[in-house]
A and B are shown apart, each in its own frame.
Chain A
Amino acid sequence: KQEVTQIPAALSVPEGENLVLNCSFTDSAIYNLQWFRQDPGKGLTSLLLIQSSQREQTSGRLNASLDKSSGRSTLYIAASQPGDSATYLCAVEAAGNKLTFGGGTRVLVKP
C-alpha cells in the first residue's frame, strides 16, 4: 500500500528565505507526483505536476524535483513572501488515476 509522508508538519520562516518542503513515498511505481496549495477553509490548488519520467518542474518561484528511485520529491519556493503562507500537500498517482496524499506541511512566512 502506497504511503506518502511530509516532513516537517509545520514550518516558519522569515520573509525572503527560501522554503524547502519534503515529500516521500513508499512505492516508487508511480505515474506522477503533484504538489498542491491549500489555504485555510479553501479547496486545493494544483501548483506543479511532475511526470514519472521527469526530474523536475518549474513555475515562477516554484521548483519541484522528483527522485522516483529513492521515493522523494522536494518543493523549493524561492524568496518566500507572506502570501506563500498556506498548507502544501503532495500526492502521488500510483494506479487508476487515484491520488494518495501526504499529511501536508503548514507554512508560515513572517514579515
Chain B
Amino acid sequence: NAGVTQTPKFRILKIGQSMTLQCTQDMNHNYMYWYRQDPGMGLKLIYYSVGAGITDKGEVPNGYNVSRSTTEDFPLRLELAAPSQTSVYFCASSSTAQHSYEQYFGPGTRLTVT
C-alpha cells in the first residue's frame, strides 16, 4: 500500500495565482484532512471530510476550498495565493472507527508564495 500520497512536493507561486494540491489514499478511509504547518509550529486543520460528498471547515479555512468526489481523493484548492499561505501542507486520513483511530499522514507539500 502507498498509504497517503501528495503532489506536488514543492511549489512556488506568485501572489494571486491559483493551484490545487492533490491528496490520494489507498486505505479505503472515509475520513480525510488537510493541515498546514508554519515554521516551528504545530499543525492547524484547514478542512476535513467524513466521506465522499461531505466536507467541513476546520480552524483556518479562509483562502482555501476542497471537494471530495471519491473516497480516495481530497484535493485542496488555493484560488488567490497570498504570502500568508506560505507553509507546508499535510493531508491525512483515518478509518471510520470513532475516537479510537490513528491518522496517517502524507509527506507534505512545501508551498512558497512570493
| Chain A interface (Cβ < 8 Å from any Cβ of B) | 4, 6, 9, 31-32, 34, 36, 41-46, 49, 51, 89, 91, 93, 97-99, 101-104
List A contacts of B74 (CB < 8 A): none
Contact A97 B94 (CB under 8 A): yes
- Contacts across chains A and B counted by CB atoms under 8 Å: 63
Pick the interface stretch among B60-68, B77-85, B101-109.
B101-109
Question: Could you tell me how many residues of chain B have their Cβ less than 8 Å away from some Cβ of chain A?
Answer: 28
Residues of B within 8 Å of A51, CB to CB, are 99-100
Residues on B with C-beta less than 8 A from A104 are: 40-42
Contact partners of A99 in chain B: CB under 8 A: 33, 43, 45, 103
Of the residues B41, B92, B101, B108, contact of A103 by C-beta under 8 Å: B41
Supposing A42-B108, A43-B105, A98-B58 touch, asked if A103 and B99 sit within 8 A by C-beta, the answer is no
